[in-house]
Structure 1
Amino acid sequence: MSEPISGAAAGAAGWKLLGGLAGIGAIGAGLASVVVMCAMTPRSPREWAVGLISTIMFSIGGGAAVIQHYDLQAWAHSPFGLVAMLGLVFACGLPGWAIVRWLFNYVEAKRTATLADVVRDVRGQP
Protein backbone atom coordinates (compact mmCIF):
# COMPACT_ATOMS: atom_id res chain seq x y z
CA MET A 1 0.00 0.00 0.00
CA SER A 2 1.38 3.40 -0.96
CA GLU A 3 1.85 6.12 1.62
CA PRO A 4 -0.09 9.37 1.32
CA ILE A 5 1.74 12.35 -0.13
CA SER A 6 2.88 14.73 2.56
CA GLY A 7 1.91 18.40 2.49
CA ALA A 8 5.48 19.47 1.72
CA ALA A 9 5.73 17.05 -1.20
CA ALA A 10 2.38 18.24 -2.55
CA GLY A 11 3.54 21.84 -2.23
CA ALA A 12 6.78 21.08 -4.08
CA ALA A 13 4.86 19.31 -6.82
CA GLY A 14 2.49 22.26 -7.13
CA TRP A 15 5.41 24.68 -7.29
CA LYS A 16 7.00 22.65 -10.11
CA LEU A 17 3.65 22.57 -11.89
CA LEU A 18 3.44 26.37 -11.73
CA GLY A 19 6.90 26.77 -13.21
CA GLY A 20 9.24 26.92 -10.23
CA LEU A 21 11.67 29.68 -11.19
CA ALA A 22 9.01 31.38 -13.29
CA GLY A 23 7.01 31.67 -10.08
CA ILE A 24 9.91 33.54 -8.46
CA GLY A 25 9.94 35.96 -11.38
CA ALA A 26 6.20 36.47 -11.16
CA ILE A 27 6.39 37.23 -7.45
CA GLY A 28 9.14 39.80 -8.00
CA ALA A 29 7.31 41.38 -10.91
CA GLY A 30 4.07 41.58 -8.96
CA LEU A 31 5.73 43.17 -5.94
CA ALA A 32 7.52 45.72 -8.13
CA SER A 33 4.22 46.62 -9.77
CA VAL A 34 2.53 47.19 -6.41
CA VAL A 35 5.38 49.37 -5.11
CA VAL A 36 5.55 51.47 -8.27
CA MET A 37 1.77 51.94 -8.46
CA CYS A 38 1.70 53.11 -4.84
CA ALA A 39 4.59 55.52 -5.38
CA MET A 40 3.29 56.98 -8.65
CA THR A 41 -0.49 56.67 -8.68
CA PRO A 42 -1.89 56.19 -12.19
CA ARG A 43 -4.17 58.96 -13.47
CA SER A 44 -6.58 56.70 -15.36
CA PRO A 45 -7.50 53.01 -15.74
CA ARG A 46 -5.71 53.01 -19.11
CA GLU A 47 -2.53 54.32 -17.50
CA TRP A 48 -2.89 51.75 -14.72
CA ALA A 49 -3.03 48.90 -17.26
CA VAL A 50 -0.03 50.23 -19.19
CA GLY A 51 1.92 50.70 -15.97
CA LEU A 52 1.14 47.21 -14.72
CA ILE A 53 2.10 45.55 -17.98
CA SER A 54 5.28 47.58 -18.44
CA THR A 55 6.45 47.02 -14.86
CA ILE A 56 5.91 43.27 -15.14
CA MET A 57 7.71 43.12 -18.49
CA PHE A 58 10.64 45.20 -17.19
CA SER A 59 10.83 42.93 -14.13
CA ILE A 60 10.84 39.68 -16.04
CA GLY A 61 12.90 40.81 -19.03
CA GLY A 62 15.33 42.98 -17.09
CA GLY A 63 15.74 40.46 -14.30
CA ALA A 64 16.42 37.66 -16.77
CA ALA A 65 18.91 39.85 -18.65
CA VAL A 66 20.82 40.73 -15.46
CA ILE A 67 20.88 37.11 -14.29
CA GLN A 68 22.05 35.95 -17.73
CA HIS A 69 24.63 38.73 -18.13
CA TYR A 70 26.26 38.06 -14.78
CA ASP A 71 25.86 34.26 -15.10
CA LEU A 72 23.89 33.94 -11.86
CA GLN A 73 21.85 30.85 -12.79
CA ALA A 74 23.69 28.80 -10.17
CA TRP A 75 21.89 30.85 -7.52
CA ALA A 76 18.74 28.87 -8.30
CA HIS A 77 20.15 25.86 -6.42
CA SER A 78 19.80 27.39 -2.96
CA PRO A 79 16.96 29.12 -1.12
CA PHE A 80 19.13 32.19 -0.44
CA GLY A 81 20.03 32.38 -4.11
CA LEU A 82 16.36 32.25 -5.08
CA VAL A 83 15.62 35.13 -2.73
CA ALA A 84 18.50 37.10 -4.25
CA MET A 85 17.14 36.40 -7.74
CA LEU A 86 13.72 37.56 -6.58
CA GLY A 87 15.33 40.81 -5.40
CA LEU A 88 17.00 41.33 -8.77
CA VAL A 89 13.74 40.76 -10.63
CA PHE A 90 11.99 43.17 -8.26
CA ALA A 91 14.66 45.88 -8.68
CA CYS A 92 14.65 45.61 -12.47
CA GLY A 93 10.92 46.32 -12.61
CA LEU A 94 10.98 49.51 -10.57
CA PRO A 95 12.22 51.88 -13.30
CA GLY A 96 9.90 50.35 -15.90
CA TRP A 97 6.79 52.30 -14.95
CA ALA A 98 8.67 55.60 -14.72
CA ILE A 99 10.33 55.15 -18.12
CA VAL A 100 7.06 54.24 -19.81
CA ARG A 101 5.23 57.10 -18.11
CA TRP A 102 7.90 59.62 -19.20
CA LEU A 103 7.74 58.27 -22.75
CA PHE A 104 3.94 58.54 -22.90
CA ASN A 105 4.04 62.07 -21.45
CA TYR A 106 6.58 63.08 -24.11
CA VAL A 107 4.51 61.53 -26.91
CA GLU A 108 1.37 63.24 -25.60
CA ALA A 109 3.14 66.62 -25.51
CA LYS A 110 4.37 66.13 -29.09
CA ARG A 111 1.08 64.76 -30.44
CA THR A 112 0.82 67.39 -33.22
CA ALA A 113 4.54 67.42 -34.07
CA THR A 114 5.91 65.89 -37.26
CA LEU A 115 8.60 63.22 -37.27
CA ALA A 116 11.17 65.84 -38.29
CA ASP A 117 10.16 67.99 -35.28
CA VAL A 118 10.62 65.06 -32.91
CA VAL A 119 14.03 64.18 -34.40
CA ARG A 120 15.17 67.82 -34.03
CA ASP A 121 13.90 67.86 -30.43
CA VAL A 122 15.70 64.62 -29.53
CA ARG A 123 18.93 65.87 -31.11
CA GLY A 124 18.56 69.15 -29.22
CA GLN A 125 18.48 71.29 -32.33
CA PRO A 126 16.26 74.41 -32.50
Structure 2
Amino acid sequence: MEPVSTSGIATFLKFYGMVIVTTLAIAMVATVVLMMRFPRSPQEWAVGLICTVVSSLAGGAFIIVKWGLHEWVRDIWGVIALGGFFFVCGLPGWAIVRWTFNFINKQEGKTIIEVVKELKDAKNDLRK
Protein backbone atom coordinates (compact mmCIF):
# COMPACT_ATOMS: atom_id res chain seq x y z
CA MET A 1 0.00 0.00 0.00
CA GLU A 2 1.29 3.40 -1.00
CA PRO A 3 1.54 6.21 1.58
CA VAL A 4 -0.65 9.27 1.18
CA SER A 5 0.89 11.68 -1.27
CA THR A 6 2.06 14.90 0.36
CA SER A 7 1.67 16.81 -2.88
CA GLY A 8 -2.02 15.84 -3.00
CA ILE A 9 -2.54 17.06 0.55
CA ALA A 10 -0.62 20.26 -0.13
CA THR A 11 -2.74 20.98 -3.21
CA PHE A 12 -5.90 20.27 -1.21
CA LEU A 13 -4.83 22.65 1.56
CA LYS A 14 -3.76 25.39 -0.88
CA PHE A 15 -7.09 25.28 -2.70
CA TYR A 16 -9.26 25.22 0.39
CA GLY A 17 -6.99 27.70 2.14
CA MET A 18 -7.58 30.15 -0.71
CA VAL A 19 -11.33 29.49 -0.54
CA ILE A 20 -11.34 30.13 3.22
CA VAL A 21 -9.26 33.33 2.96
CA THR A 22 -11.40 34.64 0.09
CA THR A 23 -14.60 33.89 2.01
CA LEU A 24 -13.27 35.61 5.14
CA ALA A 25 -12.14 38.66 3.13
CA ILE A 26 -15.57 38.97 1.50
CA ALA A 27 -17.37 38.53 4.84
CA MET A 28 -15.19 41.19 6.46
CA VAL A 29 -15.60 43.72 3.65
CA ALA A 30 -19.36 43.16 3.60
CA THR A 31 -19.46 43.73 7.36
CA VAL A 32 -17.38 46.91 7.11
CA VAL A 33 -19.42 48.34 4.24
CA LEU A 34 -22.78 47.52 5.80
CA MET A 35 -21.75 48.87 9.21
CA MET A 36 -20.35 52.14 7.85
CA ARG A 37 -23.29 52.85 5.55
CA PHE A 38 -26.19 51.24 7.37
CA PRO A 39 -28.90 50.18 4.91
CA ARG A 40 -32.22 52.03 5.00
CA SER A 41 -34.28 48.97 4.05
CA PRO A 42 -33.98 45.19 3.70
CA GLN A 43 -33.81 45.63 -0.08
CA GLU A 44 -30.90 48.03 0.25
CA TRP A 45 -29.19 45.57 2.61
CA ALA A 46 -29.49 42.79 0.02
CA VAL A 47 -28.27 45.05 -2.80
CA GLY A 48 -25.32 46.19 -0.68
CA LEU A 49 -24.36 42.63 0.17
CA ILE A 50 -24.63 41.40 -3.42
CA CYS A 51 -22.71 44.37 -4.85
CA THR A 52 -19.97 44.03 -2.26
CA VAL A 53 -19.52 40.31 -2.92
CA VAL A 54 -19.54 40.70 -6.71
CA SER A 55 -17.11 43.64 -6.72
CA SER A 56 -14.86 41.80 -4.27
CA LEU A 57 -14.72 38.65 -6.37
CA ALA A 58 -14.54 40.36 -9.76
CA GLY A 59 -12.07 43.06 -8.71
CA GLY A 60 -9.83 40.71 -6.74
CA ALA A 61 -9.79 38.17 -9.55
CA PHE A 62 -9.03 40.90 -12.09
CA ILE A 63 -6.02 42.12 -10.10
CA ILE A 64 -4.70 38.59 -9.57
CA VAL A 65 -5.04 37.66 -13.25
CA LYS A 66 -3.90 41.04 -14.65
CA TRP A 67 -0.61 41.04 -12.72
CA GLY A 68 -0.08 37.26 -12.64
CA LEU A 69 -0.20 36.90 -8.88
CA HIS A 70 -1.21 33.23 -9.01
CA GLU A 71 2.21 32.18 -7.78
CA TRP A 72 1.49 33.78 -4.41
CA VAL A 73 -0.68 30.77 -3.55
CA ARG A 74 2.48 28.82 -2.67
CA ASP A 75 2.33 29.63 1.03
CA ILE A 76 -0.17 30.94 3.59
CA TRP A 77 1.24 34.48 3.57
CA GLY A 78 0.73 34.80 -0.17
CA VAL A 79 -2.83 33.55 0.21
CA ILE A 80 -3.48 36.10 2.95
CA ALA A 81 -2.05 38.88 0.75
CA LEU A 82 -4.39 37.84 -2.06
CA GLY A 83 -7.27 37.96 0.42
CA GLY A 84 -6.34 41.59 1.02
CA PHE A 85 -6.96 42.30 -2.67
CA PHE A 86 -10.42 40.76 -2.41
CA PHE A 87 -11.11 42.93 0.66
CA VAL A 88 -9.96 46.20 -0.92
CA CYS A 89 -11.80 45.55 -4.19
CA GLY A 90 -15.07 45.00 -2.33
CA LEU A 91 -15.05 48.37 -0.58
CA PRO A 92 -16.16 50.62 -3.47
CA GLY A 93 -18.75 48.18 -4.86
CA TRP A 94 -21.79 49.30 -2.94
CA ALA A 95 -20.88 52.97 -3.14
CA ILE A 96 -20.71 52.88 -6.93
CA VAL A 97 -24.07 51.14 -7.17
CA ARG A 98 -25.62 53.56 -4.66
CA TRP A 99 -24.34 56.58 -6.60
CA THR A 100 -25.68 55.11 -9.82
CA PHE A 101 -29.15 54.50 -8.39
CA ASN A 102 -29.24 57.93 -6.74
CA PHE A 103 -28.43 59.48 -10.13
CA ILE A 104 -31.11 57.37 -11.82
CA ASN A 105 -33.69 58.36 -9.19
CA LYS A 106 -32.86 62.06 -9.71
CA GLN A 107 -33.48 61.65 -13.44
CA GLU A 108 -36.95 60.16 -13.03
CA GLY A 109 -39.47 61.93 -15.24
CA LYS A 110 -36.84 63.41 -17.58
CA THR A 111 -36.43 62.47 -21.20
CA ILE A 112 -33.33 60.69 -22.45
CA ILE A 113 -32.22 63.90 -24.18
CA GLU A 114 -32.33 65.84 -20.89
CA VAL A 115 -30.33 63.10 -19.16
CA VAL A 116 -27.69 63.07 -21.92
CA LYS A 117 -27.42 66.89 -21.76
CA GLU A 118 -26.92 66.73 -18.00
CA LEU A 119 -24.20 64.09 -18.42
CA LYS A 120 -22.46 66.25 -21.05
CA ASP A 121 -22.64 69.27 -18.74
CA ALA A 122 -21.16 67.24 -15.88
CA LYS A 123 -18.38 66.04 -18.17
CA ASN A 124 -17.61 69.61 -19.26
CA ASP A 125 -17.59 70.77 -15.62
CA LEU A 126 -14.97 68.13 -14.83
CA ARG A 127 -12.68 69.42 -17.59
CA LYS A 128 -12.66 72.97 -16.18
Shorter-normalised TM-score: what interval? Answer: 0.7 to 0.9
Paired residue for 1:68?
65
Equivalent AA in structure 2 for residue 86 of structure 1: G
Q: Match of 1:124, SS?
A: helix
TM superposition score normalised by structure 1: 0.81
Q: How does 1:14-29 map to 2 (within 5 A)?
A: 20-29=17-26
| Mapped partners of 1:87, 1:26: distance in 2 | 11
8 Å contact kept, 2:25–2:83: yes
Unaligned runs of 5+ in 2: 1-8, 123-128
Equivalent AA in structure 2 for residue 60 of structure 1: L
Per-residue CA deviation, residues 40-74 of structure 1 (Å, 9 max, x unaligned), is 11111111110100000000000000111111000
Unaligned runs of 5+ in 1: 1-8
TM superposition score normalised by structure 2: 0.79
Instruction: Calculate percent identity across the aligned residue pairs.
Output: 37
The structure richer in helix per residue is: 2
Paired residue for 1:83?
80
1:26 offset after TM fit, Å? Answer: 2.3
Calculate the aligned-residue CA RMSD, in Å.
2.4
Q: How many aligned positions are there? A: 115
